[in-house]
Amino acid sequence: MSADARQLRGRVAIVGVGESDELGRLPHKSALALHMEAAHNALADAGLQKRDVDAVFTSGRNMANDVPEYLGIRPRFIGGTQVGGCSFILHVEHAMAAIQAGLCEVALITHGESGYSRIAMPAPRWGDDSTNSQFEGVWGTAGPSTGYGFLTTRHMHEYGTTKAQMAEVAVATRKWAALNPKAFARDPLTIDDVLNSRLIAWPFNLLDCCLVTDGGGACVVTSAARARDLPKPPVYVLGSGECATHQMVSQMPSFDRWDAAEESGARAFAMSGARHADIDLAMFYDAFTIVPILALEALGFCKRGEGGPFVSGQRTAPGGDFPMNTNGGGLSYTHTGMYGIFTIIEAVRQLRGECGARQVADARTAVCHGTGGVWSAAATMIVSTET
């Protein structure tokens, strides 16, 4: 961590967040329309107008061209980093750098995917001559549902992590979803329900896997100085970090830990100066039940191999001592494809005290953390009501 990076602590804030008007199964809305609704709602939340926006960040093929046109914005700073679901957490860091450099002042970060209905979605990415197809697709892989399992199996072998521990995450997250009217899946769930759901790709059963939904999300980032003049309390970015180690899962450097997240997490904590005990809320991208378990280890909330015991006994559920994924997560609230933006939206709402039945009491500091690709990229961000 350089001294320069530490100077970024608390210099920008998230001032507006919003989802698309609806989440779930939306065959009547295209992916870009979902971006647009989310952008509208985040700007309204921020008390800003579209004309105030001078930077647009988004993710997905061609989206850095498509979104500004669709929204009628002529940005002077464009961010199109696409490393999968955590891209939007990285975008906050990139917006922070651009704002601090004077290249823009108000950054709009948008996401929209018709993940279930597939309305106006880009075609599949890889041709038969890609490295992915030649060295992975040929083996009948099924994207993330096979890719995320390789680390899981090795982690079980090295540390004794169990499927019952993984199921604890699904059950706890469902309890939070029951408190969120916007969540897609709200019926109670038991450990046995998860273990007895049909096999997708061992070690994952269906209820170890995130939802497949349609929806959009957006947030607005500006300087801390400007944020103080806006109607809602600013949520300051205290620290952030990013890392990428591979693209194909077979190139992952190690299968018993999450290297990219260990690096992104260390950078975010170093920039923020926060201690783990300061964290009131964890928003960890839960593409599969194993992912938050590995995030806990990689970010240093427990040691390598101790993530399974950490989540046992419903510790992350409502009433537990470690509130995690209080919106209901990708497992039960929504998972459009690239879920990362929703970790930011929920963290901001919790820190503002807007979460009603699921509100975490006295939440002041939160960590958002996401995965991109197949454990490929990681982004970590620490946000707080105070600088």
Q: How many residues bind another protein (CB under 8 A)?
A: 33
DSSP string, 29-80: --HHHHHHHHHHHHHHHHT--GGG--EEEE-STTHHHHHHHHHT---SEEE-
Minimum distance between the CB of residue 201 and another protein, rounded to whole angstroms? 5
Instruction: Tell the smallest beta-carbon distance from residue 156 to another protein (Å).
Output: 9
Nearer to another protein, 34 or 290 (CB): 290
Cβ partners under 8 Å of residue 123, min gap 6: none
Closest CA to 71 of 102, 41, 104, 105: 41
Side-chain half-sphere CA neighbours of 105 within 13 A: 8
135-164 residues in contact with another protein (CB under 8 A) are 135-142, 145-146, 149-151, 153-154, 157
Q: Which residues contact 67 (CB under 8 A, 6 or more apart)?
A: 32, 35, 56, 58, 73, 110
Site for another protein in 173-192 (CB under 8 A): none
- At its nearest, how many Å lie between another protein and the CB of residue 96? 31
Rounded CA separation 232/13 (Å): 11
Write out the binding residues for another protein, residues 116-135 only, by CB under 8 A: 127-129, 131, 133-135
Pairing of strands 204-205, 106-114: unpaired
Contacts with another protein, 247-286, as mask; x by CB under 8 A: -xxxx---x-------------------------------
Q: Please list every residue from 348 through 387 that binds another protein, using CB under 8 A.
A: none
Smallest gap from Cβ 250 to another protein, in A, equals: 4
Largest CA distance in the chain: 56
96 part of the interface to another protein, by CB under 8 A: no
> What's 198's DSSP letter?
P
Based on the number of CB atoms within 10 Å of its own CB, is 115 exposed (0-12), middle (13-18) or buried (19 or more)? buried
**Residue 77 or 258 having the CB closest to another protein:** 258
Region 293-352 residues binding another protein, contact defined as CB under 8 A = none
Among residue numbers 191 through 250, which ones bind another protein (CB under 8 A)? 198-203, 248-250
Nearer to another protein, 160 or 356 (CB): 160
Taking the complex as a whole, the smallest distance from the CB of residue 356 to another protein amounts, in Å, to: 37
Determine contact, residues 15/46, Cβ cutoff 8 Å. yes
Looking at the Cβ atoms of 133 and 359, the one nearer to another protein is 133
Q: Annotated active-site positions, please?
A: 285, 333
The nearer residue to another protein, 142 or 164, going by C-beta atoms, is 142
DSSP 249: G
Residue 202 C-beta: closest distance to another protein, Å = 4
Beta-carbon count within 10 A of 82 CB: 18
Cβ closest to another protein, residue 118 vs residue 157: 157
Residues within the interface to another protein (CB under 8 A): 127-129, 131, 133-142, 145-146, 149-151, 153-154, 157, 198-203, 248-251, 255
